[in-house]
């Protein structure tokens, strides 16, 4: 499973990239607003930090507007992935962009039927929002399982990018289902390394090492 960071915080991205765990980055207008920085500037910096796809979202709602904005965004760097909403105009733009060799992330997916449409439109990634799905009384992981089944049935090349990830269980369950990618806030990614028994083991080893009076030098 590929790991994307869902953030526009350049410092967080740089730290994760240094671990070798980061395969890409997703941003959206809300994350850009939270960063308090210029959209084009921060996107350019992120693209320089990671080799993988960096999703940059259009804000126009009509096909012509999406295409105009996409033309500007994809000039930032070769690894820019244009993010479009799951609407008719979004799917039309997806088809036009992927046919031209541009990566496209179709976002705000909440049903397997929507995911099917995105795959038929040639999406590089489909982003089902599991956390928001759970918040509204639905089963986010069942949505991922349904999309995986449909995509495998027809050998679609679109990658399932699990989004709106809230905790490590979302990541683990998505991996068990066979999702291609997950995107999560840096804090959630870092949280995967934590385990009480790991901490206790380190504590015990260090205590015993101190008793030896030795050092590694």
Catalytic residues: 83
The C-alpha atoms of residue 84 and residue 103 are separated, in whole angstroms, by: 11
Site of tokens 């350019």: 44
Please list the helix, strand and coil fractions of the chain in percent, rounded to the nearest 5, in that order.
55, 20, 30
Classify 133 in phi/psi space as left (phi over 0), alpha (psi -120 to 50) or beta.
alpha
CA distance 154 to 65: 32
Strand intervals (E) in 58-103: 80-85
Q: How far is CA 138 from CA 111, 112, 132, 174, 185, in A?
A: 10, 13, 9, 16, 22
Q: Print burial letters for 94-133: b (CB count within 10 Å at least 16), e (below 16).
A: bebbbeeebbbbbbbbbebebbbbbbebbbbbbbbbbbeb
């Amino acid at each position: 499973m590929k790991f994307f960071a869902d953030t526009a915080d350049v410092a967080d991205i740089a730290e994760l990239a240094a671990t070798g765990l980061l395969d890409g980055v997703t941003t959206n207008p809300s994350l850009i607003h939270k960063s308090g920085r210029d959209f084009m500037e921060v996107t350019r910096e992120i693209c320089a930090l990671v080799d993988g796809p960096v999703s940059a979202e259009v804000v126009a709602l009509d096909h012509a507007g999406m295409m105009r904005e996409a033309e500007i965004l994809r000039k930032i760097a070769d690894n820019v992935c244009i993010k479009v909403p799951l609407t008719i105009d979004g799917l039309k733009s997806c088809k036009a962009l992927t046919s031209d060799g541009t990566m496209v992330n179709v976002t705000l997916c909440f049903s397997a039927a929507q995911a099917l449409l995105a795959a038929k439109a040639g999406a590089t990634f489909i982003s089902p929002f599991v956390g928001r799905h759970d918040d509204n009384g639905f089963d986010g992981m069942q949505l991922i399982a349904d999309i995986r089944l449909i995509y495998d049935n027809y050998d679609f090349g679109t990658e399932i990018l699990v989004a709106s990830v809230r905790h490590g269980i979302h990541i683990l369950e998505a991996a068990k289902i066979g999702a291609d990618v997950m995107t999560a806030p840096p804090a959630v990614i870092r949280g995967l390394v934590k385990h009480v028994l790991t901490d206790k083991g380190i504590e015990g080893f260090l205590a015993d090492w101190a008793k030896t009076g030795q050092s590694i030098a």
